[in-house]
Amino acid sequence: MKRPLAHLFLCLSLTGITAAAADAKRAANTVVLDETGVKNLRIETVEVEETDFEATIFSLGRIEAIPSKVAAVSSRIPGRIIELKLTPGDTVKLGDEVAKVESRQPGDPPPVISLKAPLSGLVTHVDARLGDPIDPEKAMLEITDLSEVYAVARVPEHQAGRMKTGTVAHIKVAALPNEKFDGELLRFGTSADKASGTIDAIFRLPNTGGQLRADMRAEFSIVMSKRSNVVSVPRAALQGEGGNRFVYVKDFDLANAFVKTAVTVGEINDRFVEITNGLLPADEVVTRGAYSLSFAGASSVSLKEALDAAHGHEHAADGGELTPEKKAEMEAAKKGGDGHGHGEEEGASPLWKYGCGVLFVLLLLSLFTKKSRPDADEAPAPKPAEKEAA
């Protein structure tokens, strides 16, 4: 019956070591900030949830004006410009007067005609000055309606075969980094580019705010497929490289505490990252400020201080619960710091002490096992009768 008890003691010792290691790991991976630190790092979090995840392909392209929404203004008669009311960048409405032309026909004064805007839009080009002669063959200015534009992506030919009319693309424009636009595939270009192996994919794009201009560079994330109920986080939350990927999860118990959590990554699109392991729905991950948290480990607030304040009782230095054994060790360490040679013991870690305890138990177990078994190498002693016969 002694051997099972020894085994039980050994298991309990190993469990204690595992718990101590877990507490030490938690302390090493937890960053605790004060209110000022959270404010300075501009920490923002989002809740992890199951969403529709889009598989996308990346492409580059440009913004173009729709040809049917570009108009030129010209005079019906030859003459001279005596009034010009617009400059490039001005906006006009359909029917607004844009210029006046004095006819070359004789008269006192000569006849004057008014030129009107043929559509509403932005004045994109002016090729005339006050007093310039003008002929009907020459356009004075150009007006473009930019309420809707084309976004033209250069798509690899093998990907174009998978795209259908109505395919959605998330579009970013370099000149407007804080804006996002969604366009729908209208059609493909009339021919492919032999050198690059791409073909133009033309997306119709609403320009409600009027910020988009022709020839702006654009980046396209074209949605090729969609899956439901996928756990994902914003790309800004993901840190690390290769197989060492992690996020910072807001501690459910402590205020302003964030736990570095290893994750396994699936697909990545322009906005989100699929998480296949490491997170659960309702976890809160850090998005803004996640990169800065990697360098905030030496915070002015320790995990022990935060746990003490949250729970109202004292914790161990590694953040674990303060058991009677740990408390006794701490008291002994405090008493040993009086210069009587106990300073070295005070600095011993709990993991080292548990390891020494296990080795001691194994030694006792080995001695017990040897005493309880006869030595197989020794021959049994002869009986007295056998000695007399000899």
Find out if CATH 2.40.50.100 is the number for domain 70-144.
Answer: yes
**Per-residue b or e along 340-364, where b marks 16 or more CB atoms closer than 10 Å to that residue's CB:** eeeeeeeeeebeebbeeebeebeee
Nearest to 320 by CA among 17, 57, 63, 12: 17
Helices (H), the chain: 2-29, 35-41, 157-160, 290-293, 303-311, 324-335, 343-346, 350-372, 384-389
How is residue 339 annotated by DSSP? S
Domain positions in the chain: 56-65+147-226, 70-144
How far is 139 from 70, CA to CA, in rounded Å?
Answer: 13
Taking CA atoms, 123 is separated from 85, 91, 98, in Å, by: 11, 6, 10
Pick the CATH number of 56-65+147-226 from 3.40.50.1860, 3.30.450.20, 2.60.40.10, 2.40.30.170: 2.40.30.170
Q: What is the pTM of this model?
A: 0.61
Backbone angles phi and psi of 288, in degrees to 5: -75, 130
DSSP helix/strand/coil, 254: coil
What CA–CA distance (Å, rounded) separates 204 from 148?
7
Give the span between the Cα atoms of 182 and 241, in whole angstroms.
30
The Cα–Cα gap between 19 and 151 comes to 58
Maximum pairwise Cα distance, the chain: 166
pLDDT one digit per residue (tens) for the chain, 390 residues: 445 554 544 444 444 444 444 455 666 788 888 888 888 889 999 999 899 999 999 999 999 999 999 999 999 999 999 999 999 999 999 999 999 999 988 888 889 999 999 999 999 999 999 999 999 999 999 999 999 999 999 999 999 989 999 999 999 999 999 898 999 999 999 999 999 999 999 999 999 888 999 999 999 999 999 999 999 999 999 999 888 999 999 988 788 889 999 999 999 988 899 999 999 988 999 999 988 887 775 444 444 554 454 444 565 554 555 566 666 676 676 666 554 444 444 445 566 666 777 777 777 777 767 666 555 445 555 555 544 444
Task: Answer whether 142's CB lies under 8 Å from 123's CB.
Answer: yes
